[in-house]
Amino acid sequence: MQLTEYRRLWNARKWMKRNEPFLPTWHAHLGYSLDLFKRFKKGAAVEEVALTHDLNQDLLQRWVDVGLVLGHLKQNRKGIIKPKRSLVKYVSKDSDSSVGILIKEMMELHIPTMLSYRDLMQGKEVNFFEADYGDTVAQTSALLETIAFPKVLDVVKKERVKSIFDIGCAYGGYLKRIQVKKPKLRLKGLEADEQVAKKAQEEVKDSDIEIISGDIKEYESDEEFDLVMMNNLLYYFSKEDRAELFERSSKIVGKKGTLIVISPLVQSKHGQAFASAFNSFMSAHENMYPVPSERELKQYAKAAGFKFKKTTPVVKEGGWYMMVFKK
């Protein structure tokens, strides 16, 4: 065999090795989407699960084979399959600790978009999603809330906030968490997705939280708030619209009010691999835009009458940050 052929074989093996980390994510995603870890939770044979849940037995067996190799599943001498406890806990639909929705967003939204780049670069039309993924995005945002909330609450306490307006509030997660800690605060949220807003309204109907459906580009507030939040939404706004977004926020915030922005940032210290991949996803969609830099947001804030206070990492691996501004 010639030297060039050895090199070719060596490089092929390297790329195969690089693809191995994808298998656990693929296996977890399929397990989450069909709730397979729960199906096997108490121990079951492949044939039993296939018959009970009307699944293709051969394909289910292949999924099990991969799971055994990865260590996601284990098999006893009688052929009974059981998943690791951690997989049941973190990748089952009805688990309070599940991160499966994040895997779903990555596998069903982000990766298909990345695979479409060949056609997009050649000017071909691509139909990305037939399904509505508004609920998926809202649920993944809720995961971020868990990490970011303590930082948000610190600002609420430090600034002695009495009222909060949340732009793009999704299911009202931040507002509900804040009410538990600060039940006397006036809390209001605005959500552009009508279905998400409707579900949020249903979830807070027995509280004093107000959720309204509407677009911030058209919304006119007749009241001022001590704190305005804009979390996980800047990629829905162009640079021009972001400038207007800060202007509108400035009108809603009182004279000494505070603005919190949580977003992935490019050109930052942490998580740039994720941020650049995130931008690739955003740039492929006509109604979405690349995430901003810290410098860009400071410029918008200054033009809208805000003073920069601080930038705090929220999820370093993902390049997510919380920025705080003050009127």
Start-to-end CA span in the chain (Å):
71
Are both 152 and 280 inside the same structural domain? yes
Domain of residue 28: give its range.
3-98
* pLDDT surpasses 60 at 211: yes
174-177 contacts at long range (C-beta below 8 A, 24 or more positions apart):
174/145, 174/149, 174/229, 174/231, 175/204, 175/209, 175/211, 176/203, 176/204, 176/207, 176/209, 177/145, 177/149, 177/153
Per the structure block, which two tokens stand in for 65?
């084979």
Q: Are 272 and 286 in contact (CB under 8 A)?
A: no
Residue 132, pLDDT score: 60
Mean pLDDT confidence for 192-197: 91
* pLDDT category of residue 39 using cuts at 50, 70 and 90: very high
Q: What are the tens digits of pLDDT across the range 42-93?
A: 999 999 999 999 999 999 999 999 999 999 999 999 999 999 999 999 999 9
Q: What are the tens digits of pLDDT across the range 297-318?
A: 999 999 999 999 999 999 888 8
Domain end position, chosen among 75, 98, 121? 98
Mean pLDDT confidence for 105-116: 88
* pLDDT surpasses 90 at 11: no
* pLDDT category of residue 20 using cuts at 50, 70 and 90: confident
Determine the distance from the C-alpha atom of residue 74 to the mean position of all C-alpha atoms in its chain, rounded to a whole number.
31
Residue 177, pLDDT score: 95
Residue 1, pLDDT score: 58
Q: Name, in order, each residue with C-beta under 8 angstroms of 278's C-beta and a sequence gap of 6 or more.
A: 235, 264, 291, 318, 319
103 in a structural domain: no
Are both 185 and 319 inside the same structural domain? yes
105 in a structural domain: no
User: Which amino acid does the sequence have at 76?
Assistant: N
Domain end position, chosen among 82, 98, 114? 98
Mean pLDDT confidence for 32-39: 96
Give the whole-number percent of the chain exceeding pLDDT 70.
97
Residue 128, pLDDT score: 63
Residue 168, pLDDT score: 93
How much is the mean pLDDT over the chain? 91
Residue 131, pLDDT score: 54
* pLDDT category of residue 129 using cuts at 50, 70 and 90: low
Beta-sheet pairing, 320-326 with 307-315? antiparallel
Domain end position, chosen among 47, 79, 98? 98
Query: Would the CA dihedral through 107, 109, 111, 112 be positive or negative?
Result: positive
CATH number at 22 reads: 1.10.10.10
128 in a structural domain: no
Per the structure block, which two tokens stand in for 145?
């809330």
Q: Among 31-40, 132-141, 162-171, 311-320, which is the least confidently predicted range?
A: 132-141
Q: What is the pTM of this model?
A: 0.79
* pLDDT surpasses 90 at 7: no
Residue 16, pLDDT score: 86
* pLDDT surpasses 60 at 130: no
Are both 79 and 185 inside the same structural domain? no
CB neighbours of residue 13 within 10 Å: 10
Mean pLDDT confidence for 286-297: 90
Are both 187 and 45 inside the same structural domain? no
* pLDDT surpasses 70 at 159: yes
* pLDDT surpasses 80 at 3: no
User: 253 vs 9, which has greater pLDDT?
Assistant: 253
Are both 72 and 141 inside the same structural domain? no
47 in a structural domain: yes
Give the number of domains in the chain.
2
Are both 76 and 164 inside the same structural domain? no
